[in-house]
Amino acid sequence: MSQAEIGLIGLGTMGSALALNIADNGFDIAVFNRTTSVTQDFAKEAGPLADKITPTESLADFVAAIKEPRAIILMVPAGDPVDDQIAALADLIGPNDLIIDAGNANFHDTNRRVRAIKTPFLGIGVSGGEEGARFGPAIMGGGPKEHWDRVSHILSAIAAKFQDSPCADWMGEEGAGHFVKAVHNGIEYADMQLIAETYGLMRDGLGMDSAAIGKIFEGWNEGVLQSYLVEISGKVAGTVDGATNAPLLDVIVDAAGQKGTGRWTAIEAQHLATPIPVIEAAVVARNLSARRDQRARMEELFGTGPTEINADDLPVSLMEQAMICGKILCYDQGFGMIRGASEQFGWNLQLPAIAQVWREGCIIRSAMLDDMASAFTDDADRSLMAAPFFADLISKTHDSLRKVVSVAALHGVAVPAHASALAYFDAMRTGRGTANMIQGQRDFFGLHGFARLDDGTSDNHGPWA
Ligand code: 6PG
């Protein structure tokens, strides 16, 4: 039996799709799943790709089926299952065999594993959902570069391509790949929330039905907002429920799930002291969405929030402009967080490379990401807001963002991501802020000291007793 070039453990939705993608790109692959029937079903359903796949029923057979030095992808749930799987492999693999965790790991776990595991280890972020995994995901690699180089030909082959360039790259040492994937997911939450808020304005403020809203998103997908998430939002809004004949959106419960990556991003941003308020607003909105009973009780107590908005006060084009502005400000924050992590963790993360990897295959792929890649290629140290292309777009759209947030506030429609973006914009363009008052208060009650503007001295105190 000829040996496989690579192995994969975990044939769930993402693992199966990734294994088929690898086989489809001409690589022999050995696969293993804890439940043998899953492996057998997978092999049966592989069709013509079965020739490239070696299904195995024990971990020892799996390891034996892979060419040395081995490369083994783990596609098991994040957390303990990854550690358990690594422990199970420990006695079976050799000192040069490479383990690649391709799940949505918390990057702190990847940092720990890269340091603690005796054999080579990589943590790679894989984005694009099931379809991406099968036909071309975006891949964000982290860990020692020499290990990445061992498998980069396979990962580049299976990745999505943007104008022939693979959306797979090494991001940096340790958990850098999983860190970049977490920020990707934070941005994913924010993009989704901005769209959901716009949907709310159209549904509750303008009284539009789902089909009409779907058409608007479809139209926006032809313009500056062209993106996978706007595209699928149009499709979701335009779908009719087979059982009731009602718009499908009208029968979906309004409580959003989350596996935790957006939350990790928000928590990490606090540790890094890098402001990402739009992403945080999106995470909060998901948490709040789950409180359905409380929301129903508050509606009984205070009356419903949304009241009718006159279409002249909220033209569809205004909402499009507002979303453009909010989106740029959100990405400014996300990339700012990556820059902050790079400095604090010593990772030397490359913003142009990250924007390039996100151009295709991943959930946040969009036309704008290509412009972001160009902006960072021109100057990787400049914030996105300050890059001429985006500064110009912000200048043209921030007034629309302000109007949309104002109209929403006056009519009781909650638009936390839009409002956070606006507050961020206003704060960022205020040279003389208000934290002098915070410093005065801190000194008053705790003698924490303040710096003076006039003579540049620090650790001054006020005349309070
Ligand atoms: C991707 C996605 C994916 C994520 C799901 C669900 O890039 O393919 O980010 O990794 O796990 O979209 O995420 P939540 O359950 O947190 O919404």
The DSSP H or E segment spanning 166 is: strand 165-166
At 465, the pLDDT band (50, 70, 90 cuts) reads confident
128: Cβ below 6 Å to ligand 1? yes
Q: Which atom of ligand 1 lies at the shortest distance from residue 364's CA?
A: 7
Q: Is the pLDDT of residue 2 over 80?
A: no
104: Cβ below 6 Å to ligand 1? yes
What is the average per-residue pLDDT within 100-119?
96
What is the average per-residue pLDDT within 207-224?
98
Q: Which residues contact 98 (CB under 8 A, 6 or more apart)?
A: 69, 70, 71, 72, 119, 120, 121, 122, 147, 150, 151
Q: Compute CA distances 217 → 131, 213, 226, 229, 251, whole Å.
A: 22, 6, 9, 10, 20
127: Cβ below 6 Å to ligand 1? yes
With 0.85 as the threshold, say if the pTM is over it.
Answer: yes
Same fold? 6-174, 436-465: no
The pLDDT value recorded for residue 396 is 98
230-270 residue pLDDT tens: 999 999 999 999 999 999 999 999 999 999 899 999 999 99
**CATH annotation of 436-465:** 1.20.5.320
329-347 residue pLDDT tens: 999 999 999 999 999 999 9
362: Cβ below 6 Å to ligand 1? yes
Q: Output phi, psi for 168, to 5 deg.
A: -145, 130
If we measure between CA atoms, which residue out of 202, 305, 288, 209 comes closest to residue 248?
A: 209
Block residue for tokens 């991943």: 362
Q: Evaluate whether the domain defined by 182-428 bears CATH number 1.10.1040.10.
A: yes
Q: Which residues contact 274 (CB under 8 A, 6 or more apart)?
A: 333, 336, 337, 339, 340, 341
3-state secondary structure of 192: helix
What is the average per-residue pLDDT within 424-447?
98
The pLDDT value recorded for residue 123 is 98
The pLDDT value recorded for residue 304 is 86
The pLDDT value recorded for residue 393 is 98
If we measure between CA atoms, which residue out of 299, 323, 310, 308 comes closest to residue 411?
A: 308
Ligand 1: residue of 259, 265, 279, 366 to mutate (most ligand atoms within 8 A of CB) is: 259
Residue/partner pairs of 398-403 with CB below 8 Å, 24 or more apart: 398/325, 398/422, 398/425, 400/318, 400/319, 400/321, 400/322, 400/325, 401/321, 401/322, 401/325, 401/326, 401/425, 403/318, 403/322
Ligand 1: residue of 188, 227, 229 to mutate (most ligand atoms within 8 A of CB) is: 188
Bridge partners (DSSP) listed for residue 30? 7, 54
CA distance 277 to 189: 12
Percent of the chain at pLDDT exceeding 70: 100
The pLDDT value recorded for residue 340 is 97
At 4, the pLDDT band (50, 70, 90 cuts) reads very high
What is the average per-residue pLDDT within 11-32?
98
At 1, the pLDDT band (50, 70, 90 cuts) reads low
Ligand 1: residue of 21, 185, 267 to mutate (most ligand atoms within 8 A of CB) is: 185
The DSSP H or E segment spanning 172 is: strand 168-172
Q: Is the pLDDT of residue 3 over 70?
A: yes
Residues 139, 358 contacting (CB under 8 angstroms)? no
Q: Is the pLDDT of residue 400 over 70?
A: yes
The pLDDT value recorded for residue 18 is 98
The pLDDT value recorded for residue 305 is 85
HEC per residue, 266-328: HHHHHHHCCCCHHHHHHHHHHHHHCCHHHHHHHHHHHCCCCCCCCHHHCCHHHHHHHHHHHHH
257: Cβ below 6 Å to ligand 1? yes
Mean residue pLDDT across the chain: 97
Percent of the chain at pLDDT exceeding 90: 98
If we measure between CA atoms, which residue out of 368, 367, 360 comes closest to residue 135?
A: 360
What is the average per-residue pLDDT within 418-426?
98
Residue numbers annotated as active site = 181, 188
The pLDDT value recorded for residue 37 is 97
Q: Compute CA distances 120 → 84, 147, 268, whole Å.
A: 17, 7, 26
CA 74, 80, 84, 86 torsion-angle sign? positive
| Candidate CATH numbers 3.40.50.720, 3.40.50.300, 2.40.110.10, 1.10.540.10; the one for domain 6-174 | 3.40.50.720
What is the average per-residue pLDDT within 32-37?
97
Which region among 82-86, 256-260, 272-276, 329-333 has the lowest average model confidence (pLDDT)?
A: 256-260
Domain ranges of the chain: 6-174, 182-428, 436-465
Q: Which atom of ligand 1 lies at the shortest distance from residue 189's CA?
A: 17
